[in-house]
């Protein structure tokens, strides 16, 4: 039985420390041992040992690596290599020295500046459009859709550059393999209604998730925060229009509010059809509300990181730090016509943890908290009075 451990060799890499574990793989920070590698530090994603004998899982892993290696854009995390070491399947990807946008809200102490957020999301949209535009070697459009965009999967580095993470959930529309037959994978709160209900995914699906994430970053409130429990959240996402961002933060510029409203329209036909269109609207907004420079954003990232490391209350409230996020599988079993829930949804309690977002700096990783919410109070031992 293999044993991965810090400071041991794994192929052409030395493992430094374990970053986390997801549903398919274990994730490590590592150093390349071969000379001439394009990055001094990398992230190594190693498939769980018990899955290596599962042919379909291995095929999914290969498909993820194959697609990710072809995504070459400055706003997408790079995948360098995929292969096998002994019986272990692995892939290596770029290490990003930065912070995810959910943690940025916590470190900033509230929602980000509108122009800064618009600039970050315009860059993210550019990266997504590059993924949506990816073609096969024969020149056919692959119709790749990320399907799991959220503030956890958007990171900004010390140079002020945004990266889209975790294309492990992404699938090409014409692929032979899917995550699970007749199921959806992703974070429900940011999921487009048509994807949640009918499993229809397109570039507009990612536009919705990007708009819902922008809503959170500029208001400081998660989408559909009023929903109580899993079933209530599913119904809200499927049936309700996301409220106007100005209802939560009245000082927001109306043009930005309108862009978010447009991107998160319940009807995909009423949304921007491409991430490029979303980016274009944000760039137009930024001509009137100039954003900070990348250098200024990078300076702010350094401040945020320091706050997250030094201040324990912030660390406790920051949640997953973009590492492990709950992802639900929702079966497509139809419900009766007279049910109060949306047709096509069955609410179950089974949850899986998605792959780790593996780009935290060491000091953030050491201080990160793996659970959400407040820690439980220690229970005091009951005092028993002996009978006389």
Looking up residue 260, the CATH number of its domain turns out to be: 1.10.510.10
Pair of tokens at residue 381: 């031992």
Same domain flag for 19 and 140: no
Domain ranges, residue 24: 9-94
Give the integer Cα–Cα distance in Å for 75 and 163: 4
Q: Which of 176, 13, 158, 153 is nearest to 91 (CA)?
A: 13
Same domain flag for 89 and 117: no
Strand partners, 351: 328
Same domain flag for 335 and 353: yes
Site of tokens 């208001």: 219
Give the integer Cα–Cα distance in Å for 147 and 187: 9
Strand partners, 383: none
Same domain flag for 245 and 340: yes
Tens-place pLDDT, residues 48-59: 888 887 887 787
Same domain flag for 55 and 108: no
Annotated catalytic, 337?
A: no
Tens-place pLDDT, residues 126-149: 999 999 999 888 889 988 899 889
Tens-place pLDDT, residues 301-345: 999 999 987 765 554 444 333 333 333 334 433 333 333 343 334
Same domain flag for 35 and 90: yes
Residue 354 scores a pLDDT above 50: no
Q: Is residue 373 part of a domain?
A: no
Count of Cβ atoms closer than 10 Å to residue 29 Cβ:
22
The overall average pLDDT reported for the chain is: 79
Same domain flag for 323 and 293: yes
Same domain flag for 83 and 110: no
Tens-place pLDDT, residues 202-227: 999 999 999 999 999 999 999 999 99
Same domain flag for 224 and 283: yes
Q: Is residue 2 part of a domain?
A: no
What local confidence, expressed as pLDDT, does residue 380 receive? 52
Same domain flag for 215 and 239: yes
Most confident of 98-112, 326-340, 347-361: 98-112
Residue 352 scores a pLDDT above 80: no
Total domains, the chain: 2
Q: Is residue 236 part of a domain?
A: yes
The residue from 88, 123, 148, 152 that is catalytic is 148
User: How many CA atoms within 13 Å lie on the side-chain side of 330?
Assistant: 29
Q: Is 53 within 8 Å of 386 (Cβ atoms)?
A: no
3-state secondary structure the chain: CCCCCCCCEECCEEEEEEEEECCCEEEEEEEECCCCCCCCCEEEEEECHHHCCCHHHHHHHHHHHHHHHCCCCCCECCEEEEEEECCEEEEEEECCCEEEHHHHHHHHCCCCCHHHHHHHHHHHHHHHHHHHCCECCCCCECCEECCCCCHHHEEEECCCCEEECCCCCCEECCCCCCCCCCEEEECHHHCCHHHHHHCCCCHHHHHHHHHHHHHHHHHCCCCCCCCCHHHHHHHHHHHCCCCCHHHHCCCCCHHHHHHHHHHCCCCHHHCCCCHHHHHHHHHHHHHHCCCCCHHHHHHHHHHHHHHHHHCHHHHHHCCCCCCCCEEEEEECCCCCCCCCCCCCCCCCCCEEECCCCCCECHHHHHHCCCCCCCCCCCCCCCCCCCCC
């Amino acid at each position: 039985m293999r044993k991965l451990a810090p400071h041991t060799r794994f192929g052409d890499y030395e493992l430094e420390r374990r970053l986390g574990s997801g549903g398919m793989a274990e994730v490590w920070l590592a150093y390349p041992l071969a000379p001439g590698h394009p990055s001094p530090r990398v992230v190594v994603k190693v498939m769980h040992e018990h899955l290596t004998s599962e042919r379909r899982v291995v095929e999914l892993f290969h498909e993820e690596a194959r697609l990710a290696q072809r995504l070459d854009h400055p706003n997408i995390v790079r995948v360098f290599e995929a292969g096998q070491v002994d019986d272990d399947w692995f892939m290596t990807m770029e290490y990003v020295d930065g912070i995810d946008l959910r943690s940025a809200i916590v470190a900033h102490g509230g929602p980000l500046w509108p122009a800064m957020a618009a600039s970050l999301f315009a860059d993210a949209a550019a990266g997504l459009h590059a993924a949506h535009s990816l073609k096969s070697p024969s020149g056919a459009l692959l119709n790749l859709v990320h399907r799991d965009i959220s503030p956890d999967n958007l990171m900004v580095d010390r140079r002020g550059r945004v990266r889209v993470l975790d294309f492990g959930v992404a699938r090409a529309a014409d692929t032979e393999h899917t995550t699970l037959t007749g199921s959806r994978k992703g974070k429900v709160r940011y999921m487009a209604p048509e994807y949640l209900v009918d499993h229809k995914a397109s570039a507009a699906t990612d536009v919705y998730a990007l708009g819902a994430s922008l809503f959170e970053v500029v208001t400081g409130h998660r989408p559909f925060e009023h929903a109580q429990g899993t079933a209530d959240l599913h119904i809200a996402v499927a049936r309700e229009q996301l409220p106007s961002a100005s209802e939560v933060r009245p000082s927001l510029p109306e043009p930005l509010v309108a862009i978010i409203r447009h991107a998160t329209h319940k009807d995909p036909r009423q949304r921007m059809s491409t991430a490029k269109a979303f980016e274009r609207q944000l760039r137009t907004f930024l001509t009137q509300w100039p954003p900070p420079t990348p250098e200024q954003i990078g300076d702010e990232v350094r401040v945020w990181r320091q706050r997250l490391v030094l201040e324990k209350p912030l660390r406790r409230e920051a949640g997953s730090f973009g590492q492990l996020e709950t992802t639900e599988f929702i079966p497509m079993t139809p419900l009766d016509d007279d049910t109060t829930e949306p047709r096509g949804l069955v609410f179950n309690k089974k949850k899986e943890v998605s792959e780790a977002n593996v780009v935290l700096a060491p000091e953030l990783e050491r201080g990160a908290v793996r659970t959400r919410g407040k820690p439980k109070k220690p229970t005091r031992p009951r005092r028993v009075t002996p009978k006389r």
